[in-house]
Structure 1
Amino acid sequence: MADEVPNTGIPLPEGSSDIIQTDYEIGQDNFEAQVGPFGLDIHNPVFLISGLSIVLFVFYALVFQEQASEVFGALRPWLTRTFDWFFLSAANVFVLFCLVLIVTPYGNVRLGGAEASPDYTYLGWFAMLFAAGMGIGLMFFGVLEPVYHMAISEPLGVPAPFDADGNVIAANVDAAREMGLAATIYHWGLHPWAIYAIVALALALFSYNKGLPLTIRSAFYPIFGERVWGWTGHIIDTLAVFATLFGLATSLGFGAQQAAAGLEFVYGIPNTINVQVLLITGITAVALVSVLRGLDGGVKVLSELNMGLAALLLIFVLLVGPTLAILTGFGEGLIAYVRDVVPLSNPVGREDDGYRQGWTAFYWAWWISWSPFVGMFIARVSRGRTVREFIVCVLLIPSLVCVLWMAVFGGTAIDQVFASPETSLVKANVIDSYSPELSLFGMLADLPFAAVTSTLGIILVVVFFVTSSDSGSLVIDTITAGGKVDAPVPQRVFWCIFEGAVAIVLLLGGGLGALQAMVISTGLPFTLVLLLMCWAIFKGLQSERRA
């Protein structure tokens, strides 16, 4: 057996499968990367198809803005109405599959082979899983979502605590408060992290144990055999690129809208589409610098900075906010989540269309679109863990971090809404007049040092933007280069630029609705990829148990 996987530079771990490695070598002639113009490492058709498609999409949305806006505006509600049952059912399958692996003998399989040892201590590994759970989404939805579900979306028919005139209905308050947190935890807890765990486990198993390239197609060798090195694999990897790119563009669009809203709130700079475009352009330029500096000199430094700032803001809100109410809400929200997770997961026979279609279906598509991005990150830091250890920690550690974040920020906001409903900026921005990008700053405005903490919030959004763009460029680049982790920098620069460009044209072509429409459009076919991936993982684990 060779010392490394041909054409990838990936070292073969101990315990790699001789059979799969031999089959890979048979098909490698059709899978070789080709060095093209401008130093691009072109992996057969994947880079060309996905790159050209994205370029054409950007030009279409710029030239035909009005037409694009109409298309995007109609696409999202149609997709969520038509396929909500499919997204909810698939997410349930992913959770159940992970739980089955935990309790069966397959959980004893070690990623990297029987003799592999973890690359990181538990503390270091948990810290990186924590980092994977943080992002622009938590900044954008941390205040907005618990308040919105409590007061407007009425999940499972739990009535809102306000009447038509905005007066508090005391009898509804406790149930609505619990449901607001439980319905939010449902979107940030086990289901999304099961989605990420599926992709991460597949990448880790077939890369570390089977010696295959670190790319999505490798997971499907047990199903398609040598065809994964041909057009079957090209289609899988191209879908992964589209899903990741539009999932990332959605996050970047949210980040730009929130940063622009923060600048207007704190410094009076008008929040216009031009300002948002300038923000995306400027922050993408900063991300390019991070790309050129590489992982250690760029994204690693920024990630460490971001983690420190996020922890600082979290601790500040916890201490100066209603601490007892936050801690009580954390416990009550978790209990309510455990109580209601099954009815919230039910895909049929419900009447809460606004919550199920407008939120859950969108979220599951968004998480599925992000799964190659987050999954590859998790896979690269999880070598040496058993499958059982891997799944338990990937599901629980980031989920608890997300729950804590939502309980601190959302719990503080809910307390403000009921403490002074006439003057609460959160109530004004979420319930009375829907301005989601202002929800975080409305909550911080009612706490001490609002100008300082709001500025910190803007910085956090910007740095999350940079690290997401840089890391996303690396993942897309790895996929389009056939699993190489050291593909040429110009290729990452290309993807970094066009990630920002896609976010810009989607904002110009319909704002939040356009962003959500495209993430659902790409998440839909990639859901089928993930369902097939479960079967491939099962077959791969069977071969490990027989070895």
Structure 2
Amino acid sequence: MSHEQEPVLTPGQDNTQRWGLDFHSPVFPLSALCILGFIIYALIAPQTANTQLTAARGWAITHFDWLFMAAGNLFVLLCLILIVLPLGRIRLGGADTRPEYSTLSWFSMLFAAGMGIGLMFWSVAEPVAYYTDWYGTPLNVAANTTEAARAAMGATVFHWGLHPWAIYAVVGLSLAFFAYNRGLPLTLRSAFTPLFGQKVRGWPGHIVDILAVLATIFGLATSLGLGATQAATGLNYLFGLPNTIVTQVAIIVVVTVIALFSVWRGIDGGVKLFSNINMVIALALLLFVMIAGSLTVFMHHLGSASLAYLEYLLPLSNWIGRDDESWYHGWTVFYWAWWISWSPFVGMFIARVSRGRTVREFLIAVLMVPTLVTLVWMAAFGGNAIDQVQMGLGGLASGISDVSLAMFQMLEQLPLTTLTSSCAIVLVLVFFITSSDSGSLVIDSITAGGKTDAPRGQRVFWATLEGAIAAILLYGGGSEALTALQAGAVATGLPFTLVLVVMSVALVKGLVEESRRPGLSRA
């Protein structure tokens, strides 16, 4: 399709207007039916669902580890190449388009949507797990040694640094480019129009969008359930509140109600507001941990974590001849599948708020800034945690007993424990809200045929459904149903890996074509 032709797709094309809704006819009802079918299955037979989906996840990770690893490396290289090439001057939306959001608000939104809640859950537990051989060690280094401390920090930053954000960046840039520079709907299928043309209007496009909806809502519901578990654990640890299924479901209900208010107000009145609040609380907590744990010690951890990341980047990116197969299957390949399954949601949301940025500006912000923030965060929290293990202090002295408790055990050894732990709980909950908000906006856009102004009721429907899935599965099926949901979300990472590789080819093709249009889209 040449740029001067009518777009193959237009927002809302093939939509149905009924019952006050405006939805894409095949995608909306089929996605809802698939979700309903999974909930019924997981409630009727949680153990069977868990067994089958865990087996599917294990099969994908074991047999296609090379694909996940190679694709992750490919996405990092592609992003770095696009940053330095002249293609980086192309502006999303055209040469005269300017950003809709301030740089600070933009950073806050993309980071909160991408992995803010994960950093709260794993920034202490993961490095301690690697250091103490809780479930293997990176590259089989000897546990509880100086080398294990370096490897633990290097591997943790590796899992949360350039690679996951490159995955998000490829999806986000593809969607933003084809939506803002080619006038196509803001939906997954649009990124494939340079390769497949009119075929994206048919079932190939429907399947891509339905998979994106399922991966997004299952991933969000899983995170909501796991986060509720961490928040309930923190409340029990601090105030003695019973850590029961009822408490966890109550947390999900409260978070969902607040998220409904936010999603009703849209990006400006809801998501941006909560994302900015998030960043203020997170920055305050980060500064406290840096100072309370000794600023000099933090600077040491920051330097050693940076060097460890560089030292272990290439060895951990390799999948050939590894003798730590169980560790890298259980951690690295699992993470890559998880990030890829989340990429439709995070990538589309980043695209939604990135109009007016140049390709270079977009990639530097999405790739480099979160990696640097992650490095600082891990150095502060993970570094303090490993120090406590080495010195035999507190609950972490014997390693990981409960992943959801690790953050609070680390904070207990610092001053103002109740205040900081309470801030951590609030931060977890607010990260839930921003993830639910942005996820609802993304799912609504996909199921509305790429429209970003569909009726508010549709956004409310999806936000409610996310909370309902997490609450119903947690209450009716317990942890096994939630684990099954997570395994199902991770298993979708396999087909989406192939989708992202094809999307990368389409992106490069589209950018090259755009660069040949004299100065029209370049900054």
Alignment length (residue pairs): 512
Q: Which amino acid aligns with 1:209?
A: N
Q: Residues 344-363 of structure 1: matches in 2 within 5 Å?
A: 344-363=316-335
For residue 456 of structure 1, the aligned residue among 423, 429, 447 is 423
For residue 311 of structure 1, the aligned residue among 283, 300, 304 is 283
DSSP 3-state at the match of 1:41: strand
CA distance in structure 2 between the partners assigned to 1:375 and 1:225 by the alignment: 22
Q: Does 1:487 align with 2:454?
A: yes
Q: Does 1:100 align with 2:81?
A: yes
Q: Which amino acid aligns with 1:282?
A: V
Post-superposition offset of 1:274: 3.3
Q: Residues 357-436 of structure 1: matches in 2 within 5 Å?
A: 357-419=329-391, 421=392, 423-428=393-398, 430=400, 433=401, 435-436=402-403
DSSP 3-state at the match of 2:123: helix
Deviations 1:284-317 (A, max 9, x none): 2222232233333333332222221111111111
DSSP 3-state at the match of 1:160: coil
Q: Which amino acid aligns with 2:375?
A: V
Percent pairwise identity: 55
Q: Structure 1 residues 391 and 73, CA, compared in 2 at 3 Å: closer, same or farther?
A: closer
In the alignment, structure 2 segments of 5+ residues that lack a partner are 518-523
Aligned residue number for residue 165 of structure 1: none
Contact 1:244–1:369 (CA under 8 A) maintained in structure 2: yes
CA distance in structure 1 between the partners assigned to 2:309 and 2:196 by the alignment: 39
CA distance in structure 2 between the partners assigned to 1:512 and 1:55 by the alignment: 15
Aligned residue number for residue 19 of structure 1: 4
CA distance in structure 2 between the partners assigned to 1:287 and 1:132 by the alignment: 13
Q: Does 1:206 align with 2:178?
A: yes
CA distance in structure 1 between the partners assigned to 2:446 and 2:218 by the alignment: 15
Post-superposition offset of 1:23: 3.9
Aligned residue number for residue 159 of structure 2: 187
For residue 155 of structure 1, the aligned residue among 110, 135, 138 is 138
Q: Which amino acid aligns with 1:536?
A: A
Q: Does 1:498 align with 2:451?
A: no
For residue 149 of structure 2, the aligned residue among 156, 172, 177 is 177
Contact 2:93–2:356 (CA under 8 A) maintained in structure 1: yes
Post-superposition offset of 1:134: 5.0
Aligned residue number for residue 442 of structure 2: 475
For residue 516 of structure 1, the aligned residue among 486, 497, 500 is 486
Deviations 1:436-469 (A, max 9, x none): 0000000011111111111111111111112211
Deviations 1:117-146 (A, max 9, x none): 444555554454444455210110111111
Post-superposition offset of 1:99: 2.1
CA distance in structure 1 between the partners assigned to 2:268 and 2:106 by the alignment: 17
Q: In terms of mean alpha carbon deviation, does 196-205 or 369-378 score higher? A: 369-378
Aligned residue number for residue 116 of structure 1: 97
Structure 1 residue ranges, 4+ long, deviating more than 6 angstroms after superposition: none
Contact 1:21–1:212 (CA under 8 A) maintained in structure 2: no
Post-superposition offset of 1:180: 0.9
Post-superposition offset of 1:92: 1.1
CA distance in structure 1 between the partners assigned to 2:114 and 2:54 by the alignment: 30
Aligned residue number for residue 204 of structure 2: 232
Q: Which amino acid aligns with 1:317?
A: V
Aligned residue number for residue 516 of structure 2: 546
Q: Which amino acid aligns with 2:62?
A: R
DSSP 3-state at the match of 1:484: coil
Deviations 1:91-115 (A, max 9, x none): 1111122122223332232222234
Aligned residue number for residue 507 of structure 2: 537
Contact 1:429–1:438 (CA under 8 A) maintained in structure 2: no
For residue 284 of structure 1, the aligned residue among 242, 251, 256 is 256
DSSP 3-state at the match of 1:34: strand
CA distance in structure 2 between the partners assigned to 1:285 and 1:124 by the alignment: 23
Aligned residue number for residue 166 of structure 1: none
Contact 2:105–2:275 (CA under 8 A) maintained in structure 1: no
Deviations 1:228-258 (A, max 9, x none): 1221211111111112112212221221110
Contact 1:69–1:509 (CA under 8 A) maintained in structure 2: no
Aligned residue number for residue 50 of structure 1: 31
Q: Does 1:145 align with 2:126?
A: yes
In the alignment, structure 1 segments of 5+ residues that lack a partner are 1-15, 162-171
CA distance in structure 1 between the partners assigned to 2:325 and 2:152 by the alignment: 16
Contact 1:197–1:394 (CA under 8 A) maintained in structure 2: yes
Post-superposition offset of 1:522: 1.6
Post-superposition offset of 1:270: 2.4
Q: In terms of mean alpha carbon deviation, does 76-85 or 482-491 score higher? A: 76-85
For residue 301 of structure 1, the aligned residue among 273, 286, 307 is 273
For residue 16 of structure 2, the aligned residue among 12, 34, 37 is 34
Post-superposition offset of 1:512: 6.2
CA distance in structure 1 between the partners assigned to 2:275 and 2:201 by the alignment: 35
Post-superposition offset of 1:45: 0.2
